[in-house]
Amino acid sequence: MADGNNMLNKPFGLNIKVPTRTIKQTQETAQNTVNGLWQPLFNFIDENQAVFKGDIAKEIEKYNLMSYNVGAALRKGNTNGGFDVKG
């Protein structure tokens, strides 16, 4: 980065300029702080991706439908129905 293009490295007061190394360290610190600030949110989203994609809602809907079907069969009094336990 050229010294003249950086807004932090313009002369101030008695023509004092901030050293280039200080500018680079400031930029690195700012980037690390911003990245560290959002990292817990990104980790949470990655860990709970199934919730955000809707996989959990599909599973809940599937079990609700199964429960309803079992209840409907019981309400009918259908005793011929059975469960396939062989897989």
Note the pLDDT tens digit of each residue in 34-83. Answer: 777 888 888 998 998 888 888 888 999 999 999 998 888 888 875 665 66
Q: Is 12 helix (H, G, I), strand (E, B) or coil?
A: strand
CA distance 46 to 40: 10
User: Which of 59, 82, 61 lies closest to 70, judged by CA?
Assistant: 82
CA distance 46 to 9: 39
Arithmetic mean of pLDDT, 29-38: 82
The whole-model pTM stands at: 0.42
Helices (DSSP H) in the chain: which residue ranges? 20-47, 49-53, 55-76
Angle of CA points 55, 58, 62, to nearest 5°: 140
Q: Is 16 helix (H, G, I), strand (E, B) or coil?
A: strand
Position 1 scores a pLDDT of 47
